[in-house]
């Protein structure tokens, strides 16, 4: 426990330019996070071939991160320049509620995705395909409801209160601040809340995810030894599932690293320092780094997903790289003695993104008789994009 005799130690407030730097970083994070998560949501909602089980969970994750960028970051930035809380009781209750809901959605969704990868790789024969997508949607909605229930306490207890204290001239200073709990509940409630959130929103989910990945790794080691050879289809399916599992593991690692400083600081504050408070400069820098990391988690998820998934790479290029669109089309001409028919050009990077194909004409030419077979649509194992294959044979 903290020693009350040591509470007199304090330090000068950090310089103003540090606040500007932190605010600028948070603003960049918010704008980038809105763009990235918005692109993920658009990609899955606008393209049927992207609506698979992992991507439903990823979309749920992106919606939570999008809400944090939209509702929490602007008020955090503003508080670096305001001397007291100016946003009223509604935002005082809403901001921690949205933030806690987003944390729950993130970690519980990652846990569900880890379980899904375990089922896809280890219990392949036991997967029930019927209504799998609808059950996943129900699970995602259930995760949101559970996460929102964890934030009810913040809605109930958070309120704007007026604090007063004497300064060095013995005059009384009053200021408004948003408190996540009533002063009468200190220190029992904040200590219980800190321990509960650390256990429910960090330790237990990460241990569960670790258990799933240990079982996955064990299964892959055993199968690689016991199965000397597999047909190409099974090998391709297993490789796709392993790639998705790697993507989930990357997202889990980012979450664990970004949220650990916040939990450590809260534990240090309420169990090691209380009733003292950290020195002004220490408190500022620790809080600034913690806030940057926890908001960065909501920002980098879409781009980590893009780097690890060819599916999202293709759609991110399509939606964000507007100047590349003209170069994505493969222009070619096919001549035939048959009547004029209409086919489609194929993007070289994906071999057909639905909705991006443009028609071209086949013109008859007696000098170069060519037979063009019907277009065959193939669905890739990982549901990345549909490929159009054009087979032609000279007569």
Asked if pLDDT for residue 365 goes beyond 50, the answer is: no
Give the pair of three-digit tokens for residue 335.
């001549």
Report the alpha-carbon distance of residue 127 to residue 355 in Å, rounded: 31
Asked if pLDDT for residue 390 goes beyond 70, the answer is: no
Report the alpha-carbon distance of residue 11 to residue 278 in Å, rounded: 9
Nearest Cα residue to 314 out of 137, 113, 61, 49: 49
Provide the pLDDT for residue 210. 92
Nearest Cα residue to 240 out of 387, 382, 386: 382
Q: What does pTM read for this prediction?
A: 0.74
Ranges 63-72, 115-124, 308-317, 376-385: which has the least confidence: 376-385
Asked if pLDDT for residue 62 goes beyond 60, the answer is: yes
List alpha helices for 268-328, DSSP H. Answer: 280-308, 310-320
Report the alpha-carbon distance of residue 175 to residue 163 in Å, rounded: 5
Mean pLDDT of 215-234: 70
The pLDDT confidence band at residue 201, using thresholds 50, 70 and 90, is very high
Provide the pLDDT for residue 360. 38
Rounded to the nearest 10 degrees, the angle between the axes of helix 53-71 and helix 232-267 is 30
Inter-residue contact 292 to 364 (CB < 8 Å): no
pLDDT tens-digit readout, 6-53: 565 556 778 889 999 999 999 999 999 999 999 999 999 999 888 888
Provide the pLDDT for residue 133. 79
Asked if pLDDT for residue 203 goes beyond 70, the answer is: yes
Provide the pLDDT for residue 209. 93
112, burial (CB in 10 Å: exposed 0-12, middle 13-18, buried 19+): buried
Domains within the chain, CATH numbers bracketed: 4-158+186-320 (1.20.1070.10), 329-394 (no CATH)
Compare 61 and 351 and report the one with higher pLDDT.
Answer: 61
pLDDT tens-digit readout, 149-178: 998 988 988 888 887 765 555 556 677 888
Asked if pLDDT for residue 383 goes beyond 80, the answer is: no
Sign of the four-CA dihedral 81, 84, 90, 92: positive
For residues 196-218, one letter each, b for 16 or more C-beta atoms within 10 angstroms of the residue's C-beta and e for the rest, the string is ebbeebbeebbeebeebbeebee
Give the pair of three-digit tokens for residue 162.
């007026």
Report the alpha-carbon distance of residue 333 to residue 345 in Å, rounded: 10
Provide the pLDDT for residue 171. 56
Provide the pLDDT for residue 29. 95
The pLDDT confidence band at residue 139, using thresholds 50, 70 and 90, is very high
Asked if pLDDT for residue 117 goes beyond 50, the answer is: yes
Mean pLDDT of 242-246: 80
Compare 358 and 55 and report the one with higher pLDDT.
Answer: 55
For the chain, give the number of residues: 395
172, burial (CB in 10 Å: exposed 0-12, middle 13-18, buried 19+): exposed
């Amino acid at each position: 426990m903290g020693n009350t005799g040591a509470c007199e130690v304090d330090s000068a407030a950090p310089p103003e330019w540090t606040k500007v730097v932190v605010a600028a970083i948070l603003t960049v994070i918010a704008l980038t996070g809105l763009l990235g998560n918005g692109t993920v949501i658009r990609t899955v909602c606008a393209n049927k071939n992207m609506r698979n089980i992992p991507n439903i969970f990823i979309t749920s994750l992106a919606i939570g991160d999008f809400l944090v960028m939209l509702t929490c970051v602007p008020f955090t930035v503003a508080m670096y320049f305001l001397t007291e809380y100016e946003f009223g009781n509604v935002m005082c209750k809403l901001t921690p509620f949205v933030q806690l809901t987003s944390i729950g959605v993130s970690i519980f969704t990652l846990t569900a995705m880890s379980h899904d990868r375990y089922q896809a790789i280890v219990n392949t024969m036991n997967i029930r395909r019927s209504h799998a997508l609808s059950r996943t949607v129900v699970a995602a909605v259930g995760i949101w409801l559970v996460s929102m229930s964890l934030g009810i306490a913040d809605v109930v207890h958070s309120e704007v209160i007026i604090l007063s204290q004497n300064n060095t001239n013995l005059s009384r200073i009053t200021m408004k601040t948003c408190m996540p709990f009533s002063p009468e509940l200190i220190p029992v409630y904040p200590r219980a809340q800190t321990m509960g959130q650390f256990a429910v929103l960090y330790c237990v989910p990460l241990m569960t995810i670790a258990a799933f990945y240990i079982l996955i790794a064990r299964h892959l080691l055993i199968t690689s030894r016991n199965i000397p050879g597999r047909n190409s289809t099974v090998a391709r399916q297993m490789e796709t599932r392993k790639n998705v599992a790697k993507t989930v593991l990357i997202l889990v690692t980012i979450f664990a690293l970004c949220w650990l400083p916040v939990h450590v600081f809260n534990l240090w504050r309420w169990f090691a320092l209380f009733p003292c408070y950290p020195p002004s400069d220490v408190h500022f820098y620790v809080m600034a780094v913690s806030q940057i990391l926890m908001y960065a988690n909501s920002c980098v998820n879409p781009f980590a997903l893009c780097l690890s998934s060819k599916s999202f790479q293709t759609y991110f290029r399509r939606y964000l790289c507007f100047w590349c669109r003209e170069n994505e089309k493969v222009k070619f001409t096919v001549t035939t003695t048959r009547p004029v028919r209409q086919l489609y050009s194929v993007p070289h990077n994906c071999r057909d993104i639905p909705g991006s194909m443009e028609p071209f004409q086949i013109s008859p030419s007696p000098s170069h008789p060519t037979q063009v077979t019907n277009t065959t649509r193939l669905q890739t194992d990982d549901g990345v994009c549909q490929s159009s294959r054009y087979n032609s044979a000279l007569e």
